[in-house]
Amino acid sequence: MTARHAPRLAAASLALALAAAALADGGTVTGTVEATPPKYLEETVVYLKNGPPAAKPRTLSMDQKSMTFVPHVLVVAVGDTVKFLNHDNVVHNVYSPDGDGYNLGSFKQDEVRTATFAKPGAYTQLCSIHPEMLGFIYAAPGPFAAAVDKKGHFSITGVPPGTYTLAVWNSHLKGPEKSVTVGAGQTVTEKIAVKR
């Protein structure tokens, strides 16, 4: 390494160290969601409504496999792109009537289509060829969001210290917003009920 490269290397190392420190100082918002009726529980997303935006857009994937969308609920942030895969041996189509709406056309096994989500909110995922197929993409305002698991648990990690509005989306049910204050390295636990 030459002397002229040392300042650049030092700056890059400092940037990485600061990013790691910010993540280490971040808190966690965790907890459970209870749904009435419970059949809609797995179609729930918990997110920070006024959290900071994503540092840079990401690319995530939603598959079509065994005639289902996998995962059933995919959480993205505004600005993220989703790659739609087809691992079935039949032709599929992906479209959504929500938000800006899109129809990615028909595509065969191992072909890929993409969509970028510019607006926050829920996007129902449908296949015009197989009307029984249903999935959801939830575009949260920022990266601090999580879908619940089968038991209703969620965990949002790396949250910068601050006070936020914790909100919930469900495909059929409604839940209250809550104010949460997260300290550096702190875990905040919340219980949320969603119902008609």
Please tell me the predicted confidence (pLDDT) of residue 19.
41
Q: What is the pLDDT of residue 83?
A: 98
Q: What is the pLDDT of residue 100?
A: 83
Report residue 60 CA to chain centroid gap. 9
Q: Tell me, what's the pLDDT at 43?
A: 98
Q: How many residues does the chain have?
A: 196
d(CA 82, CA 115): 5
C-alpha dist (Å) from residue 171 to 135, 137, 138:
10, 11, 10
Contacts for 172-175: CB closer than 8 Å, 24+ residues apart:
172/40, 172/43, 172/196, 173/35, 173/36, 173/40, 173/44, 175/33
Q: Please tell me the predicted confidence (pLDDT) of residue 11.
A: 45
Residue 25 pLDDT: 79
Predicted structure pTM score: 0.86
DSSP assigned state of 49: T
- CA 67, chain centre distance (Å): 22
**pLDDT for the residue numbered 10:** 47
What totals of helices (H) and strands (E) does the chain contain, helices first? 1, 16
Q: How far apart are CA 73 and CA 142, in angstroms?
A: 17
Query: How much is the mean pLDDT over the chain?
Result: 90
**Which residue's entry shows tokens 């060829």?**
129
At 24 the pLDDT is 55
pLDDT in tens, the chain (196 residues): 445 554 454 444 443 343 444 445 799 999 999 999 999 999 999 999 999 998 899 999 999 999 999 999 999 999 999 999 999 999 999 999 999 899 999 999 999 999 999 999 999 999 999 999 999 999 999 999 999 999 999 999 999 999 999 999 999 999 999 999 999 999 999 999 999 9
Query: What is the model's pLDDT at position 193?
Result: 98
Q: Which residues pair with 184 in a beta bridge?
A: none
Q: 174, 18 in Cβ contact below 8 A?
A: no
pLDDT tens track for 25-55: 799 999 999 999 999 999 999 999 999 998 8
Check: CB of residue 184 under 8 Å from CB of residue 66.
no
